[in-house]
């Protein structure tokens, strides 16, 4: 019995070294991977940024698409929305917990697109930007 135990212990140390070397090789490989494999956030959320395109990408694009084309199950296309012709109705929709624009949706639009940090001035320039989508 004692001999078996001893031989098991003799295997343990070389195996530790072997797997240690493999782990080091894997680490070295990972360190050489190109940086493009790392997912980077593309949108910087800066409420002080007055560029409506940035505000749109930040606050609206997730639900309405980068070009306003809509995102299935999140938000409809807004490109041809009749609301775009009525900036005060849009402003009211964004700044109050208004009833859904489309009653069939039964969905109260997120207050300020879900970003209360957006100021009225930013919302106004955002509304102008929507017309150009
Ligand atoms: C959490 C998802 C979500 C976010 C974020 C969001 N919306 Fe919406 N939006 C919706 C949904 C769902 C509707 C449809 C229901 C409705 O009309 O209230 C809608 C409706 C609209 C409409 C009216 C479309 C129509 O004619 O019925 C406009 C315009 C609009 N959103 C603009 C925006 C803008 C601008 C932002 C960013 C400030 C924004 N939305 C952020 C989900 C979202």
What is 52-131's CATH number, 1.10.760, 2.30.230, 3.30.1490, 3.40.1350?
A: 1.10.760
pLDDT in tens, 118-130: 888 889 999 999 9
Q: Which of 62, 78, 83, 116 to mutate to test the pocket of ligand 1 (most atoms within 8 A of CB)?
A: 78
Q: What is the average per-residue pLDDT within 108-125?
A: 85
Straight-line distance from the first to the last Cα atom of the chain, in angstroms, rounded to the nearest whole number? 80
Q: What are the CA-CA distances from residue 75 to residues 25, 102, 116, 130 (Å)?
A: 47, 12, 19, 15
Which ligand 1 atom is nearest residue 130's CA?
35
With bands split at pLDDT 50, 70 and 90, how would you rate the model's confidence at 41?
Answer: very low
What does each C-alpha distance from 36 to 13, 33, 40, 59, 125 come to in angstroms?
Answer: 38, 8, 9, 26, 34
Per-domain residue ranges of the chain: 2-37, 52-131
Which residue's alpha carbon is at the smallest distance from atom 28 of ligand 1? 78
Does residue 85 have a pLDDT over 70? Answer: yes
Average pLDDT over residues 75-104: 82
Here the contacts of 4-10 (C-beta below 8 Å, separation 24 or greater) are none
Alpha carbon of 128 to ligand 1 centroid (Å): 15
Collapsing DSSP to helix, strand or coil, 71 comes out as strand
> Residue 21 contacts by C-beta under 8 Å, 6 or more apart in sequence?
none
pTM of the model: 0.68
Q: Whose CA is nearest to atom 18 of ligand 1?
A: 100
Question: What is the C-alpha radius of gyration for the chain, rounded to an integer number of angstroms?
Answer: 28
- Which residues are CB-neighbours of 45 under 8 A, at least 6 positions away? 58
pLDDT > 80? residue 42: no
């Amino acid at each position: 019995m004692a001999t078996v135990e001893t031989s098991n212990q003799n295997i343990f140390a070389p195996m530790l070294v072997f797997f240690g070397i493999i782990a080091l090789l894997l680490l070295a490989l990972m360190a050489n991977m190109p940086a493009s494999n790392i997912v980077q956030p593309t949108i910087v959320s800066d409420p002080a940024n007055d560029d409506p395109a940035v505000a749109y990408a930040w606050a609206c694009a997730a639900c309405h698409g980068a070009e306003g084309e809509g995102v299935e199950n999140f938000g409809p296309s807004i490109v041809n929305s009749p609301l775009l012709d009525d900036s005060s109705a849009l402003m009211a929709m964004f700044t109050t917990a208004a009833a859904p624009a489309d009653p069939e949706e039964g969905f109260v639009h997120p207050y300020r697109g879900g970003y209360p940090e957006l100021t009225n001035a930013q919302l106004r320039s955002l509304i102008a930007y929507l017309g150009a989508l």
